[in-house]
Structures are given as C-alpha cells and as structure tokens.
Structure 1
Amino acid sequence: MAWHHVFVRLAAVALLAAACRPAIAARPLITDDARIVDPKACQLESWMQVQSGGNEFWALPGCNPTGNLELTLGGSLQRVDGGTDFTNVQFQGKTLLRPLETGGYGVAFTAGVIHHPTAQQRKLFGNVYVNVPVSFSFVEDRFLAHLNVGGKRDTEAEQTRMTWGVGTETQVHPRVAIVAETFGENRGKPSFQAGLRFWVVRDRVQVDTTYGNVFGGGTGERFFTIGLRLLSPAFLP
C-alpha cells in the first residue's frame, strides 16, 4: 500500500474519533514539553518538511493507554530525485514526573529510539535518546516556555552527544499561537524554527507551518514545514 494511503487512513480514524474533550498540542516544536496526550486517548502528528536535500513526510501516531505513559510509533519517508526512501522508524515512551499546571511548572521524561533502515541495516537498534522536558506556564497558559536537556547515542558514528532545546508558545488568539525555538547539540551550530499554529477544530484538529534554519546557515540548510495534528477523545479500554 502506498504511503499516502496509509496516512489518509490514519487521519480518517483520528477524525472519526474526534469529539469535544480538550487537549493541548505540541506540534510543530522539536523542543518537547511536559505534557502528554489525554488518558485513554490517541493522537496523530504528521507533517511535511521541505528542504534542499529532499522532502520528508512524517507520521507519528501515539496513545496514552495507562494514564501516564504516552507511546508513539511511526516514521518518515523521504523523496529525493523523484524516488521514495523509508528513512526513519521511531519508537518513544514518555511519562510525566510532575504534571504541568496553570501558573506552575511540569517535568516529564522521554526515552526512545530512531532507526535508519538504509544506514543501519545490520543493527538491531538505531540511535537511542533520552530527554527531560521542563515546562513553565505564565499568564493563565497564554505563554508557555519549555526547556530540554538530554542525550543521544549515535550508533553509526559511535558517539554520545548532549542535546538541548528552548521553546516558547504565545497565544495571540483562542485559535492561534506563535511558536519559536532554538535547539542543538554540544557539537555544531544550533538551529532555530518559528511559525504559527492554528486550531481548525478547537482541541481536535490543528494545522501549523514554520520556517527554520541553522544559525549562520545559508539557503541549503533552511527548511519549511506544514503539519496536521489530530486528537481523539478517550476511547481505549
């Protein structure tokens, strides 16, 4: 089955499950937040990233079956020179150590693995990573700040690197937020990204778009994204 048919079916399932229970979104920030999808509910985060090296298409379905454990399994496809390559498979678990409250702060812990089938055919596991997101709420949740500190093990290069991120969400309308972030590793130049997030259906269907680049980078390193996030009500047993 073609990748776009799979995506359409996943989107249809999430839309059919959509109802009116509120939830808070995280796309399109790469900097993680101290929030997870509602207990017994699911989500689909999907986006297209356009850059000079080729376009990437991501789909990351995730569910919270226990109440405090969000499990995500998905991946990406990349189009280069008219061809399609299955470039990434990602599995992640995320739990809250302290729930984020209005006017307060929250802490989460994330661990996962990203496997590159083409580059790592003989490896059972891909790049393993851990991350600690800390989020702060200001002005009745109209401004949120997120700090990340973590690390990843690059199995292909046999290197361990520290990762970090700083992101913000500023609500300018009940349906619209401005998002901005900078992120990177302890080696190389950091990157930045900024854009808009819009609720098509409040707390259920969201679209977003961003522009990003490496600090000091040229046109070859810039990228654009457009995303769709779908959220369901609680339905899991």
Structure 2
Amino acid sequence: MMMMLTSLARLRAAGAYAAPAALVLLLAPVCAHAGRPMTVDDAAIAAPGQCQLETYAQHAQHYDEYWATPACNVGGDWELAVGGAWADDTAGPHSRTVHFGRVQAKTVFKPLETDGWGLGLVLADQFRTGRSGDGDLSANVPLSFSLRGDAVLVHVNLGVMRPADVRRSSATWGSGAEFKLGERDSLTAEVYGQQRAGSRYQFGLAHALIPDHLQIDATWGRRLARGAVEQVVTVGLVLQSN
C-alpha cells in the first residue's frame, strides 16, 4: 500500500494542483471522493470515453471552499481526475486565500452490478500551490453493494493517508448509503473518519435536472463528537458527458 502512495508523488509532475491546508484536512473528505453528494467512495468509474465535471461550494465557520474537478475514463480501466480549488479563511484579524487541489486515479477490480457487489482502488495526492514538499498521499479501497435492484447502494471504505506535514500514516474509513427516492431524486447518509483526526457524519440530497447529464445536490454534516459543532454545508453541480 505504501508503495502505491509513494508512486502518486510522480503524478504531480504531470500538472496537478495543490494540497489542502491543515484546516481543510479537518473539514474536507478524509476518504476518496465518490461523486456528489457523497464523501464515501463507491466501486464504480465512468464508462470508457466518458467525462464529468464536478463543482461545489463548501461553507464552514470562518472558512469557504470552491472546487472544480474534471474526470475522464482513460483507456477503459482507469478514471483520472485533476481538481483545483481555492479557500477563503476569514478566521483571525486578516482573511487569506489558499489555492490547492487534487490528482486522483481510480480503478475497479470487480464492477458493481445490480443486486451484486463491486471492489475498487483509489490513489490520490493533494498538495498546496507554492510549496515544493510532498503532498498528502492516500490510498482507499471502496467496497459497494447493490440492494433491491439498485434502490439502495451501500459503500464501505478502508484506506490509509500520509499527510505531508505529519510524515506519519493514518488509517481512514467510511460507510454510507444511497437511497433512491424516485426517478430523479436520491438521499445519502454517511459517516467517515481518520485516525487521530476524529469522525464526521453527513446527509445529502441530489436531484437530476437532466437524467445522466446534469445534477444539482447539497449536503449538511458535522463532527461526530459530544458538544461538537463544526457544521459544514455544501452545494454542488455535476455535468456528465454522453
């Protein structure tokens, strides 16, 4: 697993962006990102030749993020994504803007089928612009299950992350489900966490404006701890090619 993480650093030279700041690591997903509106990943990739663009805004107390992440299936077996973002930090006497991003490669060993299961692998590197050090490397294994003819999809994640500023690997985990509410609407619920960084839970709604082409979604979540606040709200848009 660590050999996979080390190999991700080489992807940065191909033109990836930046890694999140320390606050982003607390608020942003600690597992690989499946697709809006979930944080927990699934065992599925785009079809060969298909691309999609995910954009979303995330708001937390004194902190806002704005993401744009295009992803395409390359060669049929791998889905590659390069995301860029900026974050406005208004905590303290002076506000500041941080630019960062993510490069990700995802493959599926067993495709998820209706009323079946699927297994995949996600490798990612996040690093901050203007810094020459290593990024935050991660590897994640998503396991997905289809129930009741795809009416319910359950995802379980297990992985490892090595933040650049810590130089020590931490386990990551997540579990979530998607529930179809109709032809165009779905509800998501999930919980995820990182060793030594705590856990979070999140609920989401998605509505297909144009089925299989254009989706709008939103999430609400907070830290899973007694007395914790740290609420995070996101609003996103997904555009998918034919």
TM range (shorter): 0.7 to 0.9
Is residue 81 of structure 2 the alignment partner of residue 72 of structure 1?
A: yes
CA drift at 1:37: 1.1
Task: Spell out, residue by residue over 1:24-53, the C-alpha distance to the aligned partner (whole angstroms, 9 max, x if none).
Answer: x83111100001111101000111001103
CA drift at 1:83: 5.7
CA drift at 1:75: 1.9
1:94 is aligned to 106
Do the aligned partners of 1:51 and 1:220 also contact (CA within 8 Å) in 2?
A: no
Task: Spell out, residue by residue over 1:85-120, the C-alpha distance to the aligned partner (whole angstroms, 9 max, x if none).
Answer: 2432200000010000000000011101000226xx
2: CA distance between counterparts of 1:140 and 1:209? Answer: 25
Is residue 142 of structure 2 the alignment partner of residue 133 of structure 1?
A: yes
1: CA distance between counterparts of 2:64 and 2:226? Answer: 19
Do the aligned partners of 1:64 and 1:71 also contact (CA within 8 Å) in 2?
A: yes
Runs of at least 4 residues of structure 1 off by over 6 A?
A: none
- What 5-or-longer segments of structure 1 have no aligned partner? 1-24
Q: 1:171 aligns with which of 164, 180, 201?
A: 180
Q: Secondary structure at the match of 2:47?
A: coil
2: CA distance between counterparts of 1:231 and 1:86? Answer: 28
Count of residues in correspondence between the two structures: 206
Identity %: 34
2: CA distance between counterparts of 1:105 and 1:26? Answer: 18
1:122 is aligned to 132
2:7 is aligned to none
- What 5-or-longer segments of structure 2 have no aligned partner? 1-33
2:224 is aligned to 215
1:42 is aligned to 51
2: CA distance between counterparts of 1:170 and 1:32? Answer: 15
Do the aligned partners of 2:201 and 2:221 also contact (CA within 8 Å) in 1?
A: yes
Do the aligned partners of 1:75 and 1:89 also contact (CA within 8 Å) in 2?
A: yes
Do the aligned partners of 2:161 and 2:169 also contact (CA within 8 Å) in 1?
A: yes
1: CA distance between counterparts of 2:81 and 2:229? Answer: 31
Q: Compute the TM-score of the two structures, normalised by the length of structure 1.
A: 0.82
Do the aligned partners of 2:223 and 2:229 also contact (CA within 8 Å) in 1?
A: no
- Computed over aligned residues only, the root mean square deviation of the Cα atoms, in angstroms, reads 1.7
Q: 1:194 aligns with which of 175, 195, 203?
A: 203
Q: Compute the TM-score of the two structures, normalised by the length of structure 2.
A: 0.81
Farther off after superposition, 169-178 or 83-92:
83-92
Q: Counterpart amino acid of 1:101?
A: E
Do the aligned partners of 1:52 and 1:220 also contact (CA within 8 Å) in 2?
A: no
| Residue 218 to residue 28, structure 1, CA distance change in 2 (3 Å) | farther
| Residue 40 to residue 194, structure 1, CA distance change in 2 (3 Å) | same
2: CA distance between counterparts of 1:218 and 1:66? Answer: 48
| Residue 84 to residue 194, structure 1, CA distance change in 2 (3 Å) | same
